[in-house]
Amino acid sequence: MTKFELLSFLPPEEQAAKLDGLDKLTFDDNEVIFTHGDNSTDVYFILEGATKSVNYGPDGGIAYFRLRKAGDFFGYYAAISGGHRTATMMAVGKTHLAKMNGAAFMLMVTTCPGMSRYMLQLVTGLLREETNRITGMVVLNAQQLVCAELVSESESQKKERISILSRQEMAAKLGLTRETISRVLAGLAKKGIISLHKDTVEIKDKSELLAISTGASIL
């Protein structure tokens, strides 16, 4: 059974019962789960597969991107605020979800001090992350942003050959164009700092990536 950190505050038998009692849904690759502006407040737990939340700019291109995987849950902003959906959510590959009513989610969280504290830390962390992302978009150049992203992913995945987002998705995440992402990655590869593969990047010189990301070195 997929484990959810949020539910870890419940006894094991209650965790299983909580998930077993939810509606189960299956989505195919790129199938829409809900769209930006929807007034639904359901919360979804990812049992298998992955999802991506996207927002689109005036030109129709992706302006924001976030990937979630099995063990994550989403949709809680609307459940907490009672407002509309702030992004469009889509499946990445075959994805199995468990759906909880927004009111039931809030009752579960607010009646368990551990869950309440967890949600407060989660939302605060995401807000801090977004603040840093927006600040980075303003003060860092494209090379620094890409290098910082590669270093961050390497540390997160705990390996030197890392899986990366598509060029378009990385561009949306970093506030750059797809062409700029490709140009910076190609430049890093030409210098021997990284090695490019189909869906992965192998980091050859992490110290140089760090130096570029902090402005201590120039590509």
- The per-residue DSSP string of 109-127 comes to HHT-HHHHHHHHHHHHHHH
Q: Give per-residue pLDDT as tens, 43-55.
A: 999 999 999 888 7
- Report the C-alpha gap between 211 and 109 in whole angstroms: 43
Question: Percent of the chain having pLDDT more than 70?
Answer: 89
Q: Give per-residue pLDDT as tens, 126-155.
A: 888 777 666 655 546 888 889 988 988 888
Stretch (H or E) spanning 65: strand 62-69
Length of the chain: 219
Domains of the chain: 5-136 (2.60.120.10), 140-213 (1.10.10.10)
Cβ distance 177 to 186 under 8 Å? Answer: no
- What are φ and ψ of residue 103, in 5° steps? -65, -40
Give the pLDDT score at 198.
Answer: 84
Region for residue 58 given its phi and psi (left: phi exceeds 0; alpha: psi -120 to 50; beta: otherwise) = alpha
- The better pLDDT of the pair 181, 175 is held by 181
Nearest residue to 72 via CA among 46, 103, 39? 46
- Report the C-alpha gap between 120 and 144 in whole angstroms: 31
